[in-house]
Protein backbone atom coordinates (compact mmCIF):
# COMPACT_ATOMS: atom_id res chain seq x y z
CA UNK A 1 0.00 0.00 0.00
CA UNK A 2 1.27 3.49 -0.85
CA UNK A 3 1.14 5.78 2.14
CA UNK A 4 1.13 9.51 1.55
CA UNK A 5 1.95 11.94 4.35
CA UNK A 6 -0.55 14.80 4.45
CA UNK A 7 0.52 17.70 2.23
CA UNK A 8 0.40 21.30 3.37
CA UNK A 9 0.77 24.28 1.04
CA UNK A 10 2.72 26.78 3.16
CA UNK A 11 2.43 30.31 1.72
CA UNK A 12 5.01 32.40 3.59
CA UNK A 13 8.22 34.33 2.94
CA UNK A 14 11.67 32.74 3.08
CA UNK A 15 13.94 34.82 5.32
CA UNK A 16 17.47 33.41 5.36
CA UNK A 17 18.55 34.56 8.82
CA UNK A 18 16.49 35.17 11.96
CA UNK A 19 14.48 31.94 12.29
CA UNK A 20 11.00 32.95 11.17
CA UNK A 21 8.45 32.05 8.49
CA UNK A 22 9.46 29.15 6.17
CA UNK A 23 12.80 28.45 7.85
CA UNK A 24 10.94 27.42 11.03
CA UNK A 25 7.64 26.25 9.51
CA UNK A 26 9.16 23.63 7.19
CA UNK A 27 11.21 21.72 9.79
CA UNK A 28 8.31 21.81 12.26
CA UNK A 29 5.82 20.34 9.77
CA UNK A 30 8.33 17.66 8.74
CA UNK A 31 9.18 16.72 12.33
CA UNK A 32 5.48 16.27 13.03
CA UNK A 33 4.97 13.97 10.06
CA UNK A 34 3.30 16.26 7.55
CA UNK A 35 4.76 17.26 4.23
CA UNK A 36 5.53 20.95 3.71
CA UNK A 37 5.01 22.22 0.17
CA UNK A 38 6.37 25.77 0.35
CA UNK A 39 5.04 28.52 -1.87
CA UNK A 40 7.43 31.39 -1.03
CA UNK A 41 5.95 34.88 -1.30
CA UNK A 42 9.35 36.60 -1.20
CA UNK A 43 12.99 35.86 -0.44
CA UNK A 44 14.73 38.04 2.15
CA UNK A 45 18.29 37.90 3.44
CA UNK A 46 16.96 38.33 7.01
CA UNK A 47 13.61 39.16 8.61
CA UNK A 48 12.74 42.85 8.86
CA UNK A 49 13.12 43.12 12.64
CA UNK A 50 16.43 44.86 13.23
CA UNK A 51 19.08 43.74 10.72
CA UNK A 52 18.98 46.97 8.68
CA UNK A 53 18.33 47.06 4.97
CA UNK A 54 17.53 43.57 3.69
CA UNK A 55 18.17 42.00 0.28
CA UNK A 56 14.65 41.36 -1.04
CA UNK A 57 13.21 39.48 -3.99
CA UNK A 58 9.46 39.72 -4.44
CA UNK A 59 7.72 36.54 -5.68
CA UNK A 60 4.11 37.78 -5.88
CA UNK A 61 3.78 36.75 -9.54
CA UNK A 62 5.05 33.25 -8.73
CA UNK A 63 2.02 32.47 -6.51
CA UNK A 64 -0.64 32.11 -9.28
CA UNK A 65 1.87 30.22 -11.45
CA UNK A 66 2.47 27.65 -8.71
CA UNK A 67 -1.30 27.29 -8.16
CA UNK A 68 -1.92 26.80 -11.89
CA UNK A 69 0.76 24.09 -12.05
CA UNK A 70 -0.63 22.22 -9.04
CA UNK A 71 -4.11 22.36 -10.59
CA UNK A 72 -2.78 21.04 -13.92
CA UNK A 73 -1.16 18.17 -12.02
CA UNK A 74 -4.43 17.46 -10.21
CA UNK A 75 -2.57 17.50 -6.88
CA UNK A 76 -4.56 17.37 -3.69
CA UNK A 77 -3.63 19.07 -0.42
CA UNK A 78 -4.85 18.44 3.14
CA UNK A 79 -4.21 22.00 4.24
CA UNK A 80 -3.49 25.49 2.92
CA UNK A 81 -1.64 27.60 5.46
CA UNK A 82 -0.79 31.29 4.95
CA UNK A 83 1.21 33.75 7.08
CA UNK A 84 3.05 37.04 6.62
CA UNK A 85 1.87 38.69 3.39
CA UNK A 86 3.39 41.81 1.87
CA UNK A 87 0.64 43.33 -0.30
CA UNK A 88 -3.04 43.22 -1.26
CA UNK A 89 -2.07 41.31 -4.42
CA UNK A 90 -0.45 38.56 -2.32
CA UNK A 91 -3.59 38.29 -0.19
CA UNK A 92 -5.68 37.95 -3.38
CA UNK A 93 -3.43 35.12 -4.62
CA UNK A 94 -3.84 33.39 -1.25
CA UNK A 95 -7.61 33.71 -1.56
CA UNK A 96 -7.33 31.93 -4.92
CA UNK A 97 -5.36 29.08 -3.29
CA UNK A 98 -7.94 28.67 -0.51
CA UNK A 99 -10.80 28.74 -3.02
CA UNK A 100 -9.07 26.19 -5.28
CA UNK A 101 -8.95 23.61 -2.44
CA UNK A 102 -12.25 24.05 -0.55
CA UNK A 103 -11.97 20.75 1.33
CA UNK A 104 -8.44 21.48 2.62
CA UNK A 105 -8.06 22.75 6.18
CA UNK A 106 -7.70 26.54 5.75
CA UNK A 107 -5.29 28.05 8.28
CA UNK A 108 -4.66 31.81 8.24
CA UNK A 109 -2.03 33.29 10.51
CA UNK A 110 -2.97 36.97 10.03
CA UNK A 111 0.56 38.33 10.63
CA UNK A 112 0.11 42.12 10.84
CA UNK A 113 1.81 43.42 13.97
CA UNK A 114 2.99 42.91 17.52
CA UNK A 115 3.29 44.71 20.86
CA UNK A 116 0.29 46.92 20.07
CA UNK A 117 1.63 48.20 16.74
CA UNK A 118 0.95 47.20 13.13
CA UNK A 119 4.01 46.40 10.98
CA UNK A 120 5.07 49.26 8.65
CA UNK A 121 3.94 47.31 5.59
CA UNK A 122 0.29 46.95 6.71
CA UNK A 123 -2.08 49.41 4.99
CA UNK A 124 -5.81 49.91 5.60
CA UNK A 125 -6.47 48.10 2.29
CA UNK A 126 -4.41 45.13 3.48
CA UNK A 127 -6.29 45.02 6.77
CA UNK A 128 -9.61 44.82 4.90
CA UNK A 129 -8.28 42.10 2.59
CA UNK A 130 -6.91 40.17 5.60
CA UNK A 131 -10.41 40.25 7.15
CA UNK A 132 -11.65 38.73 3.87
CA UNK A 133 -8.98 35.99 4.09
CA UNK A 134 -9.95 35.32 7.70
CA UNK A 135 -13.61 35.02 6.67
CA UNK A 136 -12.85 31.91 4.58
CA UNK A 137 -10.45 30.35 7.10
CA UNK A 138 -11.22 27.37 9.35
CA UNK A 139 -8.51 28.31 11.86
CA UNK A 140 -6.91 31.68 12.66
CA UNK A 141 -4.02 32.41 15.01
CA UNK A 142 -3.74 36.17 15.67
CA UNK A 143 -1.68 37.55 18.52
CA UNK A 144 -3.51 40.10 20.67
CA UNK A 145 -2.35 43.04 18.49
CA UNK A 146 -3.63 41.31 15.36
CA UNK A 147 -6.91 40.39 17.04
CA UNK A 148 -7.59 44.09 17.67
CA UNK A 149 -6.54 44.98 14.10
CA UNK A 150 -8.94 42.35 12.68
CA UNK A 151 -11.77 43.66 14.84
CA UNK A 152 -10.99 47.25 13.75
CA UNK A 153 -10.63 48.30 17.38
CA UNK A 154 -7.84 50.29 19.06
CA UNK A 155 -5.28 48.18 20.95
CA UNK A 156 -5.93 48.00 24.71
CA UNK A 157 -2.82 47.34 26.80
CA UNK A 158 -4.92 46.47 29.89
CA UNK A 159 -5.16 42.79 30.91
CA UNK A 160 -8.37 41.12 29.73
CA UNK A 161 -11.03 39.83 32.08
CA UNK A 162 -12.46 36.39 31.37
CA UNK A 163 -15.61 37.97 29.90
CA UNK A 164 -13.60 40.32 27.65
CA UNK A 165 -11.40 37.46 26.44
CA UNK A 166 -14.43 35.30 25.58
CA UNK A 167 -16.17 38.19 23.85
CA UNK A 168 -13.11 38.87 21.70
CA UNK A 169 -12.91 35.22 20.62
CA UNK A 170 -16.64 35.12 19.88
CA UNK A 171 -16.54 38.33 17.82
CA UNK A 172 -13.62 36.98 15.77
CA UNK A 173 -15.47 33.74 15.12
CA UNK A 174 -18.44 35.78 13.82
CA UNK A 175 -16.11 36.81 10.98
CA UNK A 176 -16.09 33.18 9.76
CA UNK A 177 -13.50 30.81 11.27
CA UNK A 178 -14.61 27.88 13.44
CA UNK A 179 -11.45 27.83 15.51
CA UNK A 180 -9.75 30.94 16.88
CA UNK A 181 -6.56 31.03 18.93
CA UNK A 182 -5.30 34.35 20.31
CA UNK A 183 -1.70 34.22 21.53
CA UNK A 184 0.03 36.35 24.14
CA UNK A 185 -3.00 37.47 26.13
CA UNK A 186 -2.34 39.08 29.47
CA UNK A 187 -5.20 38.14 31.81
CA UNK A 188 -6.78 40.13 34.64
CA UNK A 189 -6.27 36.96 36.75
CA UNK A 190 -2.56 37.83 36.58
CA UNK A 191 -1.02 35.37 34.13
CA UNK A 192 -0.22 35.22 30.43
CA UNK A 193 -2.14 32.75 28.29
CA UNK A 194 -3.01 31.55 24.83
CA UNK A 195 -6.79 31.39 24.53
CA UNK A 196 -9.01 29.60 22.05
CA UNK A 197 -12.58 29.09 20.92
CA UNK A 198 -14.10 26.12 19.18
CA UNK A 199 -17.32 27.37 17.59
CA UNK A 200 -18.53 23.88 16.68
CA UNK A 201 -18.57 22.70 20.31
CA UNK A 202 -18.97 26.18 21.81
CA UNK A 203 -16.02 25.65 24.19
CA UNK A 204 -13.56 28.33 25.24
CA UNK A 205 -10.05 27.17 26.22
CA UNK A 206 -7.10 28.63 28.06
CA UNK A 207 -3.46 27.49 28.13
CA UNK A 208 -1.48 29.49 30.73
CA UNK A 209 2.14 30.29 29.81
CA UNK A 210 5.10 31.60 31.76
CA UNK A 211 6.12 35.19 31.20
CA UNK A 212 9.70 35.57 29.93
CA UNK A 213 11.00 39.17 29.82
CA UNK A 214 12.28 38.99 26.22
CA UNK A 215 10.67 38.67 22.85
CA UNK A 216 12.02 36.73 19.86
CA UNK A 217 11.00 36.99 16.21
CA UNK A 218 9.28 33.96 14.70
CA UNK A 219 7.57 32.62 17.82
CA UNK A 220 4.13 33.34 16.33
CA UNK A 221 5.12 31.39 13.21
CA UNK A 222 6.38 28.51 15.35
CA UNK A 223 3.16 28.44 17.39
CA UNK A 224 0.94 28.42 14.28
CA UNK A 225 3.04 25.75 12.54
CA UNK A 226 2.84 23.35 15.51
CA UNK A 227 -0.89 24.06 15.86
CA UNK A 228 -1.48 23.35 12.16
CA UNK A 229 0.47 20.07 12.17
CA UNK A 230 -1.29 19.06 15.41
CA UNK A 231 -4.69 19.38 13.75
CA UNK A 232 -3.46 17.32 10.80
CA UNK A 233 -2.33 14.48 13.10
CA UNK A 234 -5.75 14.54 14.76
CA UNK A 235 -5.36 16.64 17.91
CA UNK A 236 -8.32 18.45 19.46
CA UNK A 237 -8.12 22.25 19.76
CA UNK A 238 -7.01 22.30 23.43
CA UNK A 239 -4.40 19.57 22.88
CA UNK A 240 -3.08 21.35 19.75
CA UNK A 241 -2.94 24.63 21.71
CA UNK A 242 -1.12 22.88 24.59
CA UNK A 243 1.40 21.25 22.25
CA UNK A 244 2.13 24.54 20.45
CA UNK A 245 2.36 26.53 23.70
CA UNK A 246 4.65 23.96 25.31
CA UNK A 247 6.99 23.89 22.30
CA UNK A 248 7.24 27.69 22.12
CA UNK A 249 7.89 27.78 25.87
CA UNK A 250 10.71 25.19 25.59
CA UNK A 251 12.26 27.07 22.66
CA UNK A 252 12.05 30.47 24.40
CA UNK A 253 13.34 29.26 27.78
CA UNK A 254 16.22 27.32 26.19
CA UNK A 255 17.25 30.38 24.20
CA UNK A 256 16.83 32.81 27.10
CA UNK A 257 19.01 30.60 29.33
CA UNK A 258 21.97 31.19 26.98
CA UNK A 259 21.39 34.96 26.61
CA UNK A 260 22.57 36.54 23.37
CA UNK A 261 21.17 38.51 20.49
CA UNK A 262 17.38 38.09 20.27
CA UNK A 263 17.30 39.07 16.57
CA UNK A 264 18.45 35.54 15.66
CA UNK A 265 15.25 34.07 17.03
CA UNK A 266 14.85 30.99 19.22
CA UNK A 267 17.14 27.95 19.24
CA UNK A 268 14.70 25.86 17.25
CA UNK A 269 17.26 23.13 16.52
CA UNK A 270 17.75 22.43 20.24
CA UNK A 271 14.00 22.28 20.95
CA UNK A 272 13.07 20.01 18.01
CA UNK A 273 13.21 16.62 19.85
CA UNK A 274 10.03 17.60 21.78
CA UNK A 275 8.03 17.55 18.54
CA UNK A 276 8.97 13.95 17.80
CA UNK A 277 7.95 12.58 21.21
CA UNK A 278 4.22 12.74 20.54
CA UNK A 279 3.41 13.17 24.21
CA UNK A 280 -0.12 14.47 24.71
CA UNK A 281 0.22 17.68 26.67
CA UNK A 282 -2.74 18.56 28.86
CA UNK A 283 -1.84 21.99 30.09
CA UNK A 284 -5.28 23.43 29.34
CA UNK A 285 -8.49 24.31 31.10
CA UNK A 286 -11.82 25.80 30.15
CA UNK A 287 -11.80 29.61 29.98
Q: Return the number of the residue (47 or 129) whose C-beta is nearest ligand PXL.
A: 47
Q: Return the number of the residue (176 or 265) whose C-beta is nearest ligand PXL.
A: 265
Please, what is the minimum distance in Å from the beta carbon of residue 258 to ligand PXL? 21
Please, what is the minimum distance in Å from the beta carbon of residue 108 to ligand PXL? 14
Q: Return the number of the residue (84 or 197) whose C-beta is nearest ligand PXL.
A: 84
Q: Are 63 and 94 in contact (CB under 8 A)?
A: yes
Dmax over Cα atoms in the chain, in whole Å?
Answer: 55
Task: In whole angstroms, give the CA distance from residue 126 to residue 105.
Answer: 23
Q: Are 283 and 207 in contact (CB under 8 A)?
A: yes
Catalog residues that contact ligand PXL under the rule CB under 6 A: 13, 15, 20-21, 44, 47-49, 84, 111, 217-218, 220-221
Sequence-distant (≥ 6) Cβ neighbours of residue 142 within 8 angstroms: 109, 110, 112, 149, 150, 172, 180, 182, 183
Please, what is the minimum distance in Å from the beta carbon of residue 12 to ligand PXL? 7
Please, what is the minimum distance in Å from the beta carbon of residue 222 to ligand PXL? 9
List helix spans (H) across 158-285: 162-173, 219-232, 237-258, 268-271, 273-277
Q: Return the number of the residue (129 or 187) whose C-beta is nearest ligand PXL.
A: 129
Amino acid sequence: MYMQNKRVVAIHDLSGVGRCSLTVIMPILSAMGVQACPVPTAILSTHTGGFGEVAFQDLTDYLPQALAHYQRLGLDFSCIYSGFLGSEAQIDHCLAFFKAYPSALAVVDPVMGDHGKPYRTVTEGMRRRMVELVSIADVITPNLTEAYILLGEPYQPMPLTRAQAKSMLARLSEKGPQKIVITGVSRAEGNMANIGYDQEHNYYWCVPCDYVPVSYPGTGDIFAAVLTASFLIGDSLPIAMSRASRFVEIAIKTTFSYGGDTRFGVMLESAMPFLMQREVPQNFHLL
